[in-house]
Structure 1
Amino acid sequence: MAIIITDECINCGACEPECPNTAIYEGADDWRYKDGTKLKGKIVLPDGSEIDSDAPQTPVSDDIYYIVPGKCTECKGFHDEPQCAAVCPVDCCIPDSNHIESEETLLNRQSFLHNV
């Protein structure tokens, strides 16, 4: 994951509609690979596992908005900066220093999600 939402999140929801990959979800909400992407039916993830893109996935957080690691591209291929960070009123959308990804990795993810 390139960006994380910290515990300072006030659950305002400003970030959610800004994500071009629909990688941001409200706490406790299930997520799906197909949401906001061109993925349909059975897909093979970059790690080689196969999954139904419409299958509900377990929330990353139960309390605050969260970013799905496998869908975040730091807005590469769409914008010059992560839009969640640009609109967050409390600056809690930050780079995950424990999970740094190259621009190539992020662009490959964008291509995978949107068939670019």
Structure 2
Amino acid sequence: MALMITDECINCDVCEPECPNGAISAGEEIYVIDPNLCTECVGHYDEPQCQQVCPVDCIPLDPERPESREELMAKYEIITAA
């Protein structure tokens, strides 16, 4: 699953630089995650880095975007090949 940022986000800006795929950016009110670029850090790290640094724990899995580890790895390979 791609990750998502909930409205509990406090715009602290610690997650954006941690994303190895550039999937996190400032939205209109809070930070947002581009699900086409989010691999939950599969291929880069063992755990999603944005979740590790978020001080308010507002980055859960997006239940509307289920993806297996294999699908996330395939997405990682496409992103890094580009």
Alignment partner, residue 12 of structure 1: 12
The TM-score, its normalising length taken from structure 1, stands at: 0.68
Name structure 2 gaps, 5 residues minimum.
none
Deviation of residue 93 (structure 1)? Answer: 0.8
Percent identity between the aligned chains? 55
Alpha-carbon separation, structure 2, partners of 1:69 and 1:98:
10
Alignment partner, residue 93 of structure 1: 59
Alpha-carbon separation, structure 1, partners of 2:2 and 2:23:
11
Alpha-carbon separation, structure 2, partners of 1:73 and 1:99:
11
Alignment partner, residue 81 of structure 2: 115
Is the partner of 1:66 in helix, strand or coil?
Answer: strand
Alignment partner, residue 39 of structure 1: none
CA RMSD of aligned residues (A): 1.3
The letter of the residue matching 1:68 is: D
Is the partner of 1:95 in helix, strand or coil?
Answer: coil
Alpha-carbon separation, structure 1, partners of 2:38 and 2:64:
15
Report the structure, 1 or 2, having the larger helix content: 2
Is the partner of 2:60 in helix, strand or coil?
Answer: strand
Deviation of residue 98 (structure 1)? Answer: 2.2
The letter of the residue matching 2:8 is: E
Report the structure, 1 or 2, having the larger strand content: 1
The letter of the residue matching 2:51 is: A
The TM-score, its normalising length taken from structure 2, stands at: 0.94
Name structure 1 gaps, 5 residues minimum.
28-61
Alignment partner, residue 70 of structure 1: 36
| Runs of 4+, deviation exceeding 4 Å | none
